[in-house]
Structure 1
Amino acid sequence: MKNLLLGLVALCLVPFAFAKDFKEGENYDVIKMAAPTAQPEVTEYFSFLCPHCYRFEPIVHELAAQLPKDVKFTRNHVDFLGRDLGVELSRSYAVMELLGVEDKVAPKMFSAIHEQHVRLTGRDDIRKVFVAAGVPGEDFDSAVNSFSVNGRLAQMERNTQSADITGVPTVVVNGKYKVNMGSVSSKEELFELVDYLTQKKD
């Protein structure tokens, strides 16, 4: 965890440091049991409860913005942090996706937890964050237990298990390559590594 934190700090502070030769086992790991995606894809695994994910937010948005148009970017909330609250937050992320309000609500959720230090105890408190972000409460209520949200929640849990995600934030490329966040010393190097992995064929 300490190495991860140092790596994230370095990403924020070091402007230029480009790797010339990315290596398996050093810069990335191959996920043995996962099926590779049919098309290039970058997925960030994260949790609203994770302070490192909160600090990584500006970088992950830059990463998504600079990806080529043929590379899909997705996010996957994990539920292994926070016990029952972690599951409810994963559900809340599925609701954000379904309602198309991720850009409005996700920053509010991170802010409530890590800046305002709001103590979220369950679904009612999460609903209040949606409402504060401008989402009608009835929209949240109609979506939170919907078939689509339940399906997405199960999918995120399966993705987390198949990718063997044990810590966040973690970036996975093409469903096959797990980035070693501690191995990169700048956001530019991270972007370069991700680009390298999206084009990797073996």
Structure 2
Amino acid sequence: MKKLLLGLVALCLVPFAFAKDFKEGENYEVIKMAAPTARPEVTEYFSFLCPHCFAFEPMIKELKEQLPENVKFSRNHVDFLGRDLGVELSRSYAVMELLGVEDKVAPKMFSLIHEQHLRLSGRDDIRKVFVAAGVPGEDFDSAVDTFSVNGRLAQMERNTQSADIKGVPTIIVNGKYKLITSSVSSKEELFQLVDFLASKQD
């Protein structure tokens, strides 16, 4: 995992040199059992507990901003890190989406966990993070156990299983192409690989 983190950091530092001829098995894997998305889509699988995901955040922000308008960007929180806390954090991400507060709460969650080393014990602590980010506690309470949040939680778990996600951060394009991030040498090359896969017709 340390090598992965160093590789992700290196992507931010190495300048873009030339276009690459991307190849299956070298730059990306095809998820054989996955159903492709109806439209071009880029999905990041991540966990708030993952330090590599936290380090990857600036690049994910840039990736999202440079995607063509016809390419949807989404995120999928995984719950295989942290046991019960992992499930609660996945639920918290579904709440962020439902309330439209991801841009406010997600950076706060990452910062508190990885910069301030806050130890979360469960839902009450997570609620406090929402409040610290400016979300009224009653809004969190009214959303956390709703049908919409429970449905999204189940969907994220299904997505994780069908994409065979074993580690994070992982980027899946069009529901079927899994990036091999260690195969690219710059963030520009990573963006180019994403664009290449998003436009694939097969």
> Aligned to 1:29, what secondary structure does the other structure show?
strand
Pairing 1:175-186 to 2, within 5 Å after superposition = 175-186=175-186
> Aligned to 1:113, what secondary structure does the other structure show?
helix
Q: Residue 96 of structure 1 contacts residue 105 of structure 1 at CA under 8 Å; is this kept in 2?
A: yes
**Cα distance in 1 for residues equivalent to 2:18 and 2:91:** 38
1:161: how far off?
A: 0.3
Pairing 1:140-151 to 2, within 5 Å after superposition = 140-151=140-151
RMSD: 0.9
1:172 match: 172
**Cα distance in 2 for residues equivalent to 1:166 and 1:19:** 29
**Cα distance in 2 for residues equivalent to 1:18 and 1:124:** 49
Q: Please state if 1:126 is matched with 2:106.
A: no
Whichever residue aligns with residue 167 of structure 1, its letter is G
Pairing 1:20-59 to 2, within 5 Å after superposition = 20-59=20-59
Q: 1:87 to 1:17 in 2, by over 3 A?
A: farther
Q: Which stretch shows the higher mean deviation, 9-18 or 185-194?
A: 9-18
**Cα distance in 2 for residues equivalent to 1:61 and 1:15:** 18
1:81 match: 81
**Cα distance in 2 for residues equivalent to 1:40 and 1:11:** 24
2:90 match: 90
Gap regions ≥5 residues in structure 2: none
Q: Please state if 1:68 is matched with 2:68.
A: yes
Whichever residue aligns with residue 186 of structure 2, its letter is S
Whichever residue aligns with residue 119 of structure 1, its letter is R
1:14: how far off?
A: 1.1
1:195 match: 195
1:109 match: 109
Q: Which stretch shows the higher mean deviation, 96-105 or 2-11?
A: 2-11
Whichever residue aligns with residue 90 of structure 1, its letter is S
Whichever residue aligns with residue 47 of structure 1, its letter is S
Whichever residue aligns with residue 23 of structure 2, its letter is K
**Cα distance in 2 for residues equivalent to 1:19 and 1:126:** 43
**Cα distance in 2 for residues equivalent to 1:34 and 1:119:** 36
> Aligned to 1:160, what secondary structure does the other structure show?
helix
1:14 match: 14
> Aligned to 1:95, what secondary structure does the other structure show?
helix
Deviations 1:124-158, CA, capped at 9 Å, x for gaps? 00000000000000000010000000000000000
1:5: how far off?
A: 1.8
Percent same amino acid among aligned pairs? 85
Where in structure 1 do 4 or more consecutive aligned residues deviate above 2 Å? none
Q: Residue 17 of structure 1 contacts residue 185 of structure 1 at CA under 8 Å; is this kept in 2?
A: no
**Cα distance in 2 for residues equivalent to 1:141 and 1:17:** 50
